[in-house]
Amino acid sequence: MITILSIVLSFFLLGVVALLVIKPIAQMRTHRRVEEMAIVGSGLMARKLLHEFTDQSEAMCHAVQYDEIGKLPQQRSFSKIVLVDRNIPEDGEAARALLTLKLSGVKIESAVESFEKMSGRIWTDGLSSDWFIFADGFPPSMFYLKLKRGMDVVFAIILLILTAPLMIVVAAIIKLNSAGPVIFKQERVGYRGSAFILYKFRSMVHDAETTTGPIWARSEDDRATPIGSFLRKWRLDELPQMVNVLRGEMSFIGPRPERPYFVNILRDSVPHYDLRHYVKPGISGWAQVMYQYGASIEDAHRKLQYDLYYSKNISLKLDLLIVFKTIKVMLTGKGAR
């Protein structure tokens, strides 16, 4: 993420567009109220989904076994039926009951579809190859990607010029307050898995991982210098990444690029992790504005769900929403990295 000034200036030209689209975007809610719904399924996947829905929604959720579907029309008035498994025998009692419910006005959705609408995330535990093949999105509009790249270049040039005095001051303060280089360079994994060098103002002590080896950065990281903590809090350390944007290695908005060491770990631990690399990485992203500072495999799994949602739904509207949320995060000095 970059400074408040940079964000505001970079998207100033989109202000009129924002006024036209922000109202419908604002209606996207992480928590949507559903009066009463049934989660149909059995086993571990159904229990996981029920737990997720209970945490995310104010709805009254009921777990129902597949052999009980036939009783649903007579039991109670559900507004939605969520199917963990869509492979329902066509000539069975369950299919007839679901058809009766649908024709009666009850919404019937797959688990992944329903979870996406409710939470702004993709439920990775329920993904399958056929879902990816037939789901809308993936890939995004080529026209918008070209437009997005053009805006990235224009705004990066403008912001480099406007923030040059600030970056000179920041560089001087870093040099005077701690030993080591002013610019921190680190290899990251970018678009389609290609490696690139990411640039940041150094916020930690020089050679911070000499004794520990690679470890995740934390919100309260004792390796940060006093000035580095300030830079990290207000995202000033991210300013040099506009060079990465100009070079085409990053965008202003996209999934945050990770280090190869952790990518190799997460590929083995988090299903579908490499799918986040089919979108160009960004300085700020949907996961960064929707989830707290990530420093574990569990956090990486949750952030992947947001990254996949962004990859599936990438658009001008979603990018603008991320910009506005980024500004909100930066005004408070809080948020993910």
For 295, residues 6+ apart whose C-beta sits below 8 A from its C-beta are: 216, 217, 218, 219
In terms of residue numbers, what domain contains 302?
4-24+139-332
Residues 18 and 46 in one domain: no
151: pLDDT strictly greater than 90: yes
pLDDT digits (tens, 9 = 90+) for 259-309: 999 999 999 999 899 999 999 999 999 999 998 766 788 899 999 999 999
pLDDT digits (tens, 9 = 90+) for 176-201: 999 999 999 999 999 999 999 999 99
Name the percent of the chain lying above pLDDT 90: 51
Specify the pLDDT at position 11. 47
- Three-point CA angle 203, 209, 212, nearest 5°: 140
Q: Quick one: which of 17, 59, 54, 20 has its CA closest to 37?
A: 59
Residues 15 and 147 in one domain: yes
**CB contact at 8 A, 283 and 1:** yes
Binned at pLDDT 50, 70 and 90, residue 334 comes out as low
Q: Which residues pair with 160 in a beta bridge?
A: none
Q: Quick one: which of 307, 287, 253, 313 has its CA closest to 124?
A: 307
**CB contact at 8 A, 75 and 69:** no
Specify the pLDDT at position 35. 65
Is residue 126 in a domain? no
User: Among the three residues 119, 152, 176, which one is the final residue of a domain in this structure?
Assistant: 119
Specify the pLDDT at position 69. 81
Specify the pLDDT at position 18. 46
Residue with the larger pLDDT of the pair 286 and 87: 286
Residues 73 and 95 in one domain: yes
- The residue with tokens 């409710």 is 118
Residues 160 and 309 in one domain: yes
Residue with the larger pLDDT of the pair 113 and 74: 113
Average pLDDT over the chain, rounded to an integer: 85
